[in-house]
Amino acid sequence: MKEILLAELKRQLGRYVSGEELSQRLGVTRTAVWKQIQALREEGYGIEALPRLGYRLLVAPDLLLPAEIQGGLATSVLGRKVYHYRETDSTNRLARELGSRGEPEGTLVVAERQQAGRGRLDRKWFSPAGGIWLSLLLRPQLFPHQAQLLTLVAAVAAVEATEAVSGLVPGIKWPNDLLLAGSKLAGILTEVSAEIDLVHYLVLGVGVNANIPADAFPAELRETATSMLAVLGQPVNRAAWVRQFLQYFEKHYLVVGSSGFDDLLARWRRYSVTLGHEVTVYLPGRQVSGTAIDIDDHGALQVRTEAGIETFPAGEIRLRDKGDR
């Protein structure tokens, strides 16, 4: 009901809507309307209330609140349930907890900041206010070795969402980085709970430097990280980014489920800044250099080295001819 009330106030943005009209539209008492107005105010919505005139929405908070994400969201499964935190340790950790408790596919966890945001191999992920820190709970019908492919789905959907809200088209560096002019805009962390031949659930964590000023990055990231704000000079609508991401992701997820990964892999190749380039692949105990030639049907990277073609299902790469740091 709060969502409908908010939608109504937004539809009539800047105008007064009487308590009577709202109570009729929502089919509840005027006291119930007042209670929901109070709840919205507590979330940070600026709502004026005047006797005889009614209610008027003045400002919506710049937060990733469920009502902001779900208003106009055109998905059937993803993001139908949203958990929002002003601050948490890690949205991936929370989503894993929800996964083990049996929460449904598509459940979304978003946070304004994370105190213990994580990258791969337990690396730290810098997660201040202004970014988009989200985790999506999925229950795909896939074998565990196919989970990597969903990282590629997320990367493609993140590029498309970024283009939709900012006009910027990041490149994808295999397997999980989005780059703008060579600097890292976003990263993806996929975690799987599985047995040998069965995925119980999968958590897809995406971190995007949306509205983070360039000088807010700590010294060790200043040379390698970037944000949409830093490139555009103006902030983007973060809730709109999340909505676009969920919509693109769901679209690809459904196609993948019914017809396989061919279309998705073709899109990934189009956005790739890895294929065709000289790379060094870092593996435990050794490193291999060569030309990245393609990704295979499982999302593994194929590299032509002096010894022939080698395939890497996972790993860390450096783009040598792009001055990658």
45 forms part of the interface with ligand BT5 (CB under 6 A): no
Stretch of residues binding ligand BT5 (CB under 6 A), selected from 162-170, 182-190, 243-251, 252-260: 182-190
CA distances from 312 to 1, 112, 148, 260 (A): 50, 35, 12, 21
**Euclidean distance between the first and final Cα of the chain, in Å?**
50
Q: Is residue 82 exposed (0-12), middle (13-18) or buried (19+ Cβ within 10 Å)?
A: buried
Among 70, 176, 244, 274, binds ligand BT5 (CB under 6 A): 176
Choose among 88, 126, 141: nearest CA to 209. Answer: 126
Distance in Å, CB of 74 to ligand BT5, minimum: 23
Residues in CB range of 10: below 8 A, 6 or more apart: 57, 60, 71
Nearer to ligand BT5, 67 or 228 (CB): 228
- In the complex with ligand BT5, which residue's Cβ is closer, 75 or 151? 151
Task: Say how many residues make up the chain.
Answer: 325
Residue number with the shortest CB distance to ligand BT5? 187
- Please, which residues have CB within 8 angstroms of residue 38's CB and are 6 or more apart in sequence? none
**133 makes contact with ligand BT5 (CB under 6 A):** yes
The residue among 66 and 117 lying less far from ligand BT5, judged by its C-beta, is 117
Q: Which of these ranges, 1-9, 14-22, 136-144, 180-188, lies near ligand BT5 under the rule CB under 6 A?
A: 180-188
Total residues interacting with ligand BT5, rule: CB under 6 A: 28
Contacts to ligand BT5 by CB under 6 A? 90-92, 114, 117-121, 123, 125-127, 133-135, 176-177, 184, 187-189, 205-207, 209, 221, 225
